[in-house]
């Protein structure tokens, strides 16, 4: 059974909010503006993480990690999360991340709290299921703390660092 956003927020947001550790992306990203209707499949370590459809004006983002995973950031969120750095080519621009998150590693205790075994599914804020495995991270944006999504363990280590 898929764990809903409501369940995640009820069970995990209190733990995320009480954590003193804040993380920030430390790698630049590449991005371009979507024309609309592009289907973006996020693949990390040869596994499909999620899929989403871009609307016109959204941003298609590529992380500069081993997997070079791609995902969509809604146009209204992008300026809050990234600052323009430089033009790369006709397709991509480089941006510096400025968004911050709180994170909770998926441990046996978290599995117990959610009444799940590894792997399990959550409903991501954008309406698609994400498969979560032990030692992945469940994260919430610091600015609003109103959604929870998965970041694969390998991507988390390549992308985020604690700043507090």
pLDDT tens digit sequence for 97-140: 998 999 999 999 999 999 999 999 999 998 999 999 999 999 99
pLDDT for 48: 87
Residue 43's beta-bridge partner residues? 48
pTM: 0.87
**Which residue numbers in the chain have pLDDT < 70?**
none
pLDDT for 116: 97
Rounded to whole angstroms, the Cα distance separating 53 from 57 reads 12
Residue 160's beta-bridge partner residues? 25
pLDDT for 35: 97
pLDDT for 47: 85
pLDDT for 109: 97
Rounded to whole angstroms, the Cα distance separating 57 from 2 reads 30
pLDDT for 46: 83
pLDDT for 147: 96
């Amino acid at each position: 059974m898929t764990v809903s956003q409501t369940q995640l927020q009820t069970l995990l947001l209190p733990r995320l909010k009480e954590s003193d550790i804040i993380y920030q992306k430390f790698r630049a990203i590449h991005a371009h503006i979507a024309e609309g209707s592009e289907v973006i499949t996020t693949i990390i370590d040869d596994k499909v993480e999620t899929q989403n459809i871009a609307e016109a004006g959204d941003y298609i983002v590529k992380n500069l990690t081993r997997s070079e995973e791609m995902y969509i950031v809604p146009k209204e969120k992008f300026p809050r999360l990234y600052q323009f750095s430089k033009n790369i080519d006709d397709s991509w621009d480089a941006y510096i991340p400025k968004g911050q998150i709180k994170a909770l590693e998926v441990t046996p205790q978290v599995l117990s709290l959610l009444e799940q075994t590894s792997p399990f599914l959550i409903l991501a804020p954008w309406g698609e299921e994400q498969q979560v495995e032990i030692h992945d991270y469940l994260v919430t944006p610091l600015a609003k703390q109103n959604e929870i999504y998965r970041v694969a363990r390998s991507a988390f280590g390549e992308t985020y660092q604690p700043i507090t």
